Amino acid sequence: MVLSNRLAGWAARRPHALLVEVPGATAVRWVAEAELARAGAVAADSAADADLLVVAGAPGAELTAVVDEVWAQMPGPRARIWIAEPGAAAGAVAQALASLIGPGQAADAGRRRDAWAAGPATPDGGGSAEDGDEGDGMQMPGGLMMADRAPDRDGLQLDVLSVPLGPVLADWPAGLVVDVQVQGDVVQRAQWRLLGPAQPSGPASDGADADPGRGPGGRAASRLGALARLLGVAGWPAAAVQARRLRDAAWSGAPAAPVRTGLRRLDRRLRRSRALRWSTDGLGVLTPDEARSQGFPRWDAAGADTARTGHDATARWRGWLTEADALLAGEGAGRGAAEGDGAGHDAGREDDASVARARLDAAVRLMAGLDLAAARVVMASLDPHCGALAGAARRPEGTTSA
Amino acid sequence: MTAAPVWSVLPAAALVLAYASGAAVLDGLLDPADRDRGAGVRAGRPLWETARLLRQRRRSTVTPDALLWRAGAAGPLVVALLMAVVVPMGGRAVADPVVGVVWFNALDVALWLLVWSAGWGANGVYALVGGYRYLAQALAYELPLMFALTGPAVAAGSLRMSEVVAAQHGLWFVVWMPVAFGVFLGAVAGFSLWGPFGYPAGRDVAGGVLAEPSGVDRLVLLAGRYALLAAGAAMASALFLGGPAGPVLPGWLWSALKTALVLAALVAVRRRMPVLRADRVMRLAWLVVLPLTLAQLLVVAVIAVVVGG
């Protein structure tokens, strides 16, 4: 008993948290992330790695079903919290941490009926880390679908697997599911859909604190948040932490000067990194027109060599650095980088929705023919603002093939 | 160097685990995410993580290939311990076979199967992708690694580790084989799924080979990763840094210090750069690193013939 209490105490010093962001709840996620970091928690990569399941925002029915499935995949001891608004984060996190080492865990473990323990007759999928289930149709071993075959890009007959990417995936846009068909890890076809919040968040329901994109600090924070995610996807956690700190500082309205100093340091580090450029160069290239209509800054803001490489992922993260600095310096309105050129990302809800849709369409189009790593860099570099779409009518679209 | 008694397996294993824990402590200390927390909390990270994973339930998936999965999870730790058997520390090794260098190389190739099994056995998409990524990455570093290992062996005229160490009397191999040394360190990071070579365990595929295991399986797999780094660092100090050679201090201390330094460098590099994706690394590995390693080997061979003949 003494030993297990000691173990529990030690374990609670570093819980791993899996975050599920509901579209439109970006601010809640940011606060929850900061609160979790303060409590010593780290971000989990998958359900198997997680002790805490943190749902930021109020999910709709479909997303709730996914959350339940992820919950069932967590090994335990486990705790789940729903954070509807930023103010509730601190209390909820503290409560969840307490329940992780509380007596309720034994009862929870006793009650569980895990899909994997039930043997091969379960009708449900869910054996893999992603969260949709393909279980209907033929009865297959374990209720899982077998792979089909189709010719691949080299003319060979290879297995085709249909896999949903998201919506619970580290550094992935909120509520987004991209149904991909992969051969090996190469995406052949991709199609996106959105799992929305409980009620469409109209302009009335989201106040200033629910949408971080308003105000220069918030807009700078949203660039830095996108950058943090891209760095996470690129596998550079140390730099991602730096970006996330700056994001939180910019959003909390801290004095701009120290934030800009930190930003300059990050800027130098990233621009000097040949390895990062290697990982993002030439991926997700947009034409100048597409880039403009999707709310990306003018080419000159993104760096001189954009003209040579096209508007690729590298150009976009460089653009975020430049924009964030300009916004923090208070030049945002005048530069055109952040608002001009019809950059609807921040301007108004209607524009936001169309920009987000354009970015998602571009993302699934550009993902085809890439391996999963590159496809994820493309998605992260386009940073579709799914919250803007949540209110708009949902319709599946954006099918594309290699 | 004489062959050690059988019981020396135990202290050797303890040493590997001690170095692995040290690496995990250092990694906690260097993590910028915990910058604001006390040094004690940061240094205790292996303890917190171990406690957490010991407490965690062992999870399964729907219809896993349980045998391959569990074997794959335990694989890295077992391989690291087997590697350590031939690595001399302070002039003593558990065993000193005539093919010591080949033994190390063969074990690192065995990792291909084991890590792939860890990915395959879980029956999950991300884990499977992670397993195959390990193979793709291995294609990039394995040939350069083999030629890098050949350098010290050619210079010493032997594959026996004790003779490779003895041949560095007066001049460490790192001085005239810097390329081989660098390639070897890169390959150690590669087979340990570490830092820039963490591609098979990438966050973009929900942790890859780490996506599905939990509890004690995960603990053994993560410990194996650090143990591989430790075994690789010890091997680097014996192959290239003269092993126990050094002034004033006793030989065993020199071996220990050199291993610790190499290990610290390997741990620190993780914060310095993003993951190098296999598709991008491949071109570099085959078009730049491999020719450079071959050129290094040519130089070594010519010198060995001229000096030896």
Q: What pLDDT, in 10s, does the model give residues A162-181?
A: 889 979 998 999 999 999 98
Q: What is the pLDDT of residues A83-97, one digit of tens each?
A: 988 888 888 888 888
B58 near A CB under 8 A? yes
The pLDDT of residue A340 is 37
Q: What is the pLDDT of residues A4-41, one digit of tens each?
A: 888 888 888 899 999 999 988 888 999 999 889 888 88
B88 near A CB under 8 A? no
Q: How do the domains of chain A map onto residue ranges?
A: 2-111, 215-401
Angle, CA of B95, B96 and B97, to the nearest 5° = 105
Domain-embedded: residue B4? no
Say which amino acid occupies A99.
S
A249 near B CB under 8 A? no
CB contact under 8 A, B276 and A49: no
A120 near B CB under 8 A? yes
A377 near B CB under 8 A? yes
Number of structural domains (chain B) is: 1
The pLDDT of residue A50 is 93
Q: What is the pLDDT of residues A35-83, one digit of tens each?
A: 898 888 899 999 999 999 999 988 989 999 999 999 988 997 899 999 9
Q: Is the pLDDT of residue A115 over 90?
A: no
Residues in B closer than 8 angstroms to A49, CB to CB, are 207, 210-211, 214, 218
B126 near A CB under 8 A? yes
Helix (H), strand (E) at residue A249: helix A237-251
Q: Is the pLDDT of residue A159 over 60?
A: yes
Sequence-distant (6+) residues with CB within 8 A of B205 are A372, A373, B126, B129, B130, B133, B211
* Residue A397 φ then ψ, to 5°: -165, 180
The alpha carbon of A44 is separated from its chain's Cα centroid by a whole number of angstroms, namely 13
Q: Is the pLDDT of residue A136 over 70?
A: no
B131 near A CB under 8 A? no
Nearest-by-CA chain B residue for A135: B62
CB contact under 8 A, B274 and A231: yes
Domain-embedded: residue B246? yes
CB contact under 8 A, B274 and A142: no
To the nearest whole angstrom, how far is the Cα of A276 from the nearest Cα of chain B?
6
Q: Is the pLDDT of residue A297 over 80?
A: no
CB contact under 8 A, A120 and B63: yes
DSSP string, chain B: -PPPPGGGHHHHHHHHHHHHHHHHHHHHHH-GGGTTS-HHHHHTHHHHHHHHHHHSPP---SS--HHHHHHHHHHHHHHHHHHHTT--BTTB-S---TTHHHHHHHHHHHHHHHHHHHHHHTT-HHHHHHHHHHHHHHHHHHHHHHHHHHHHHHHHT-S-HHHHHHTTSSS-HHHH-HHHHHHHHHHHHHHTT-GGG-GGG-GGGTTGGGSS--HHHHHHHHHHHHHHHHHHHHHHHHHTS-TT--SSS-HHHHHHHHHHHHHHHHHHGGGTS----HHHHHHHIIIIIHHHHHHHHHHHHHHHHHHH-
The pLDDT of residue A211 is 53
Residue B146 to residue B231: CA distance in whole angstroms: 17
Q: Is the pLDDT of residue B80 over 90?
A: yes
Domain-embedded: residue B5? no
The pLDDT of residue A399 is 41
* Residue A204 φ then ψ, to 5°: -70, -40
CB contact under 8 A, A127 and B64: yes
Nearest-by-CA chain A residue for B49: A11
The pLDDT of residue B145 is 95
Residue B144 — pLDDT band, cuts 50, 70, 90?
very high
B29 near A CB under 8 A? no
The pLDDT of residue A230 is 94
CB contact under 8 A, A75 and B215: yes
The pLDDT of residue B38 is 83
Residue with more model confidence, A108 or B130: B130
DSSP class of residue A59? B
Residue A209 — pLDDT band, cuts 50, 70, 90?
very low
Judge contact between A230 and B267, C-beta under 8 A: no
* Residue A76 φ then ψ, to 5°: 85, 150
Residues in A closer than 8 angstroms to B73, CB to CB, are none
Domain-embedded: residue B98? yes
CB contact under 8 A, B57 and A75: yes
A192 near B CB under 8 A? no
Q: Check: CATH 1.10.260.40 for A2-111?
A: no
Percentage of the residues of chain B whose pLDDT score is greater than 90: 64
Residue B161 — pLDDT band, cuts 50, 70, 90?
very high
Sign of the alpha-carbon dihedral angle for A226, A231, A237, A241 = negative
Residue with more model confidence, B288 or A185: B288
Stretch B69-98: mean pLDDT: 90
The pLDDT of residue B35 is 78
Residues in B closer than 8 angstroms to A51, CB to CB, are 52, 56
Q: Is the pLDDT of residue B130 over 80?
A: yes
In sequence order, the β-bridge partners of residue A306 are none
Residue A12 to residue A19: CA distance in whole angstroms: 18
CB contact under 8 A, A238 and B31: yes
- Nearest CB among B51, B198, B215 relative to A10 is that of B51
Residue B238 to residue B184: CA distance in whole angstroms: 12
Q: What is the pLDDT of residues B215-263, one digit of tens each?
A: 999 999 999 999 999 999 999 999 999 888 888 888 889 999 999 999 9
Nearest-by-CA chain A residue for B207: A45
Among A193-207, B39-53, B65-79, the minimum mean pLDDT is found in A193-207
Residues in B closer than 8 angstroms to A246, CB to CB, are none
The pLDDT of residue A281 is 86
Calculate the alpha carbon distances from A131 to A186, A329, B49 in Å.
20, 42, 26
Residue A283 to residue A313: CA distance in whole angstroms: 6
Residue B60 — pLDDT band, cuts 50, 70, 90?
confident
Q: Is the pLDDT of residue A210 over 50?
A: no
Size of chain A in residues: 402
- Scanning A69-108 for CB atoms below 8 A from B yields 73, 75-77
Q: Is the pLDDT of residue A398 over 60?
A: no
CB contact under 8 A, A13 and B204: no
B127 near A CB under 8 A? yes
Q: What is the pLDDT of residues B295-304, one digit of tens each?
A: 999 999 999 8
Residue A164 to residue A364: CA distance in whole angstroms: 13
Domain-embedded: residue B168? yes
Residues in A closer than 8 angstroms to B274, CB to CB, are 231, 234-236, 239, 273, 275-276, 279
CB contact under 8 A, A237 and B44: no
Q: Give the residue from B36, B56, B197, B281 with the most A CB atoms within 10 Å of its CB, the best one to mutate.
A: B56
To the nearest whole angstrom, how far is the Cα of B70 from the nearest Cα of chain A?
15
The pLDDT of residue A228 is 94
Q: Characterize the bridge pairing of strands A157-165 and A148-151.
A: antiparallel
B65 near A CB under 8 A? no
Nearest-by-CA chain A residue for B31: A238
CB contact under 8 A, B203 and A242: no
Task: Identify whether B46 is preceded by a cis peptide bond (ω within 30 of 0).
Answer: no
Taking one residue from A and the other from B, the number of pairs with CB-CB distance under 8 angstroms is: 186
A46 near B CB under 8 A? yes
Percentage of the residues of chain A whose pLDDT score is greater than 90: 26
Domain-embedded: residue B171? yes
DSSP class of residue A14? S
Q: What is the pLDDT of residues A212-262, one digit of tens each?
A: 556 778 888 889 999 999 999 999 999 999 999 999 898 888 788 899 999
Stretch B112-131: mean pLDDT: 92
Q: What is the pLDDT of residues A311-369, one digit of tens each?
A: 888 888 988 898 888 888 886 444 443 343 333 344 445 578 888 888 999 999 999 98
Residues in A closer than 8 angstroms to B54, CB to CB, are 7, 11
Domain-embedded: residue B3? no
Residues in A closer than 8 angstroms to B132, CB to CB, are 184-185
CB contact under 8 A, B126 and A120: no
Domain-embedded: residue B107? yes
Q: Is the pLDDT of residue A206 over 50?
A: no
- Nearest CB among A6, A127, A377 relative to B61 is that of A127
- Six-digit token pair at B170? 């007066």
CB contact under 8 A, B274 and A10: no
B224 near A CB under 8 A? no
Q: Give the residue from A185, A281, A283, A317 with the most B CB atoms within 10 Å of its CB, the best one to mutate.
A: A185
* Residue of B208, B123, B217, B214 lying closest to A76 (CA atoms): B214
Residue with more model confidence, A297 or A193: A193
The pLDDT of residue A100 is 86
Percentage of the residues of chain A whose pLDDT score is greater than 70: 76
